[in-house]
């Protein structure tokens, strides 16, 4: 236990001895993780909006004239049993006409000219929505060949655009994440290397009198993990305040967008995933950066 607490104390002493490099590492990691957090906000909300849009992307299924209610019910059961179909909503011709009048016939004189006639009396339909937007094309083709199905109106171009946007966001975010992590790892490694250089003679003597590699390495690992914890805690706090203020601003200044269906991920939901992620990245960079750097430096010292 004495050795354990001694090495922890040495780790904190290393941070004080190399305070300029330690501060530089913390600030660099804070900046990298802050940018990573901002990117996470953007990517998560874009994906959330795309998923919301995908959930509202479906197809409209029309029937042949003279299709009976029993045949429509039978067709609905066949569609809902298909793998990948989430919901099937029946739109009677009367509802289709009422919706058309509300959205397009704003002129009372024009509306009155139709009288009691329903020009859409043969336009009863199903609105079909899917579990996964990727199944859109296949299911639309399968539904088209069912008995009594006259026409299927799909939104293939919108589906392709959403899928393409999802792929671009995934690839772009992955590249940026790897770049930011590499920069943070490099800074931690540099700080540990400086600490080793300052204590090179002391480490050589410890090695000569029988100190194990684990004993020599431990303070530097403590140093790296401590820098990682501080470098992760700072951006988490800053990001929480930034995201909270942005959500508050959107709710007050742009409430019209939210009332029209646009939505974003809540503060609690996004930080339930982001906080552990940034903490793990910070600690991981600190640990692995110091561990591998010390292995390299110890091998170099042995050959001196």
Tell me: the pLDDT tens digits for 225-264?
888 898 899 999 999 999 888 888 776 765 555 554 557 7
Tokens describing residue 99: 């919706």
**Whether the predicted pLDDT of 182 surpasses 60:** yes
Select the highest-mean-pLDDT range: 48-52, 120-124, 274-278, 295-299: 274-278
Domain 58-154: which CATH number of 3.40.50.720, 3.40.50.10790, 3.40.50.300, 3.30.70.3040: 3.30.70.3040
Question: Predicted confidence band at 98 (pLDDT cuts at 50, 70, 90)?
Answer: low
Average pLDDT, the chain: 76
Range list for CATH 3.30.70.3040 in the chain: 58-154
Summarize the confidence of residues 144-161 as an average pLDDT. 76
Residue 143: name the closest of 157, 154, 155, 134 by CA.
154
Sheet with strand 149-153: strands edge to edge? 85-91, 125-130, 58-63, 149-153
Phi-psi region of 146 (alpha: psi -120 to 50; beta: other; left: phi over 0): beta
Q: What is the pLDDT of residue 196?
A: 62
- State the helix-helix crossing angle for 213-253 and 267-302, rounded to 10 degrees: 160
**Three-state secondary structure call for residue 126:** strand
Q: What is the pLDDT of residue 234?
A: 93
The percentage of the chain sitting over the pLDDT mark of 90, rounded to a whole number, equals 4
The residue behind tokens 């590492």 is: 25
């Amino acid at each position: 236990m004495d050795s354990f607490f001694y090495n922890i104390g040495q780790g904190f002493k290393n941070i004080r001895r190399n305070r300029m490099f330690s501060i530089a590492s913390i600030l660099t990691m804070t900046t990298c993780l802050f940018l990573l957090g901002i990117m996470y906000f953007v990517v998560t909300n874009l994906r959330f909006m795309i998923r919301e849009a995908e959930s509202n992307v479906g197809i409209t299924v029309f029937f042949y004239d003279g299709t009976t209610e029993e045949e429509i019910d039978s067709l609905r059961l066949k569609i809902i049993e298909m793998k990948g179909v989430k919901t099937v909503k029946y739109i009677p011709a009367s509802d289709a006409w009422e919706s058309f009048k509300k959205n397009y016939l704003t002129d009372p004189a024009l509306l009155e000219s139709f009288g009691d006639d329903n020009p859409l009396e043969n336009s009863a339909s199903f609105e079909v929505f899917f579990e996964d937007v990727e199944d859109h094309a296949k299911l639309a083709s399968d539904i088209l060949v069912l008995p009594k199905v006259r026409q299927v109106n799909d939104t293939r171009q919108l589906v392709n655009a959403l899928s393409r946007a999802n792929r671009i966001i995934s690839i772009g975010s992955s590249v940026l994440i790897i770049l930011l992590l590499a920069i943070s790892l490099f800074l931690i490694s540099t700080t540990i290397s400086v600490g080793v250089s300052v204590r090179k003679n002391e480490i050589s003597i410890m090695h000569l009198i029988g100190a194990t590699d684990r004993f020599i390495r431990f303070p530097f690992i403590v140093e790296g993990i401590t820098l990682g914890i501080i470098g992760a805690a700072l951006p988490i706090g800053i990001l929480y305040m930034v995201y909270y203020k942005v959500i508050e601003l959107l709710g007050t200044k742009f409430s019209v967008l939210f009332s029209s269906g646009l939505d974003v991920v809540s503060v609690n939901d996004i930080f339930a995933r982001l906080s552990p992620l940034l903490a793990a990245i910070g600690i991981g960079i600190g640990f692995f950066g110091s561990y591998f750097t010390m292995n390299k430096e110890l091998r170099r010292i042995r050959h001196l």
